[in-house]
Homo-oligomer: A and B are copies of this chain.
């Protein structure tokens, strides 16, 4: 007998047919002798509809009241799923975040989980219930309802799995698992059987939308084995865990990200601390600077280029307009015709020549590399936006379709 935590997203529980599909998955798992805890998101567009209702009233709704409102979405889907499971002849009980023991901070709409008191879930499992928990929510120390913000239901599921030492946490989505590249664009994209937490984190932060980093980080911290799979296909998904078989594929994924721009600051004095000051100013505004390229010093000055999210461009410009001259720079330039193409794989650093193979593949495809950034388990290149899809394809062909 295993303890299995399953999480189903909004599209997986969107209507009667989907709810019974989920009830089928859940009861089959229970019928095999497992204890099952199910975490659900709100049905389909429910959350958006509720936000629209609030917007009709005011665009400055108190966050506490937004949480009160939005938490009803999961309460509806959880109770309906419990009814569906019950109608299949299995015992089921739905629990709100508060009832399920989720204690959070009071940061309404983006609360942090402080603790999961699992007594109630444990006792319902001991009563042979399939336990259906509302994702995305908890209560603070005043018993006020809080929500966890984006990706909250995944985080809820991982938190329960961690607190109860579950054997596996299965995240059901509308894709079959984690692929080596976007399967809608790259015909030969392959589904991974396994991926490590570190690789998953890189892939997620490089643009793949399968799992949000918050839930992966939590799973890694408490060593929760994750599986990402589809609620519709019935195929095995991708396992995410700490240590994986390194004999498998070297490169786990090729990703593309076009949500940023490149900024170049010209002729900064080549003195200790000037670049540091610049990044401190941006950091103080909450700007996430990513790839940084510093030119070799020439005439006692250097050029510095870096990437920032497109959404932050106005703030970046304001900081630079105010400070670039004072720092001694001659000015700055923005390049928004850029894309980041990355390869991710835990084994790459122990295999010589991976970077060289990537650069050659791009060169063979006639693609110019503007900037390069590397970490322990990834290599990113900045290319012109028009070249991005061809770059992904060339690199994918080189490493995955060998």
Contacts and interface: CB of A to CB of B under 8 A. Distances in A.
B65 A69 contact: no
Interface string A43-81: 000000010011011101110111011011001101110
Interface residues of A, number: 38
A242 interface: no
A86 interface: yes
A139 to B, nearest CB: 9
Contacts of A71: 75
Given A19-B57, A57-B19, A87-B60, A76 B65 contact: no
A99 B79 CA distance: 20
Closest 8 CB pairs of A and B: A72-B72, A68-B79, A58-B87, A69-B79, A61-B83, A57-B83, A65-B79, A16-B56
17 contacts: A50-B76, A53-B76, A54-B79, A54-B80, A57-B83, A57-B87, A58-B83, A65-B92, A65-B94, A68-B78, A68-B79, A69-B83, A72-B72, A72-B75, A72-B76, A75-B75, A98-B143
A275 to B, nearest CB: 44
A75 to B, nearest CB: 5
A159 interface: no
Contacts of A62: 82-83, 86
A98 B143 CA distance: 9
A239 B310 CA distance: 62
Interface of A: 16, 19-20, 50, 53-54, 56-58, 60-62, 64-66, 68-69, 71-72, 75-76, 78-80, 82-84, 86-87, 92-94, 96, 98-99, 143-145
Contacts of A99: 143-144
A93 B99 CA distance: 21
Given A99-B144, A143-B99, A144-B99, A82 B56 contact: no
A79 B75 CA distance: 15
Contact of A84 (B16, B58, B75, B80): B58
A69 B75 contact: yes
B86 A65 contact: yes
Contacts of A64: 93
Nearest to A17: B56
A20 B96 CA distance: 30
A82 B60 contact: no
Contacts of A84: 57-58
A80 B51 CA distance: 10
A109 to B, nearest CB: 13
A57 B79 CA distance: 11
Contact of A57 (B57, B80, B143): B80
Nearest to A123: B142
A94 B80 contact: no
Given A54-B83, A65-B92, A69-B76, 18 more contacts: A20-B57, A53-B76, A54-B80, A57-B84, A57-B87, A58-B86, A58-B87, A60-B86, A61-B87, A62-B82, A62-B83, A65-B83, A65-B86, A68-B79, A68-B82, A68-B96, A75-B75, A98-B143
Most chain B CB atoms below 10 A, which of A65, A79, A143, A144:
A79
Nearest to A61: B83
Contacts of A66: 79
Contacts of A69: 75-76, 79-80, 83
A69 B73 CA distance: 10
A79 B66 CA distance: 7
Contacts of A53: 76, 80
B75 A68 contact: yes
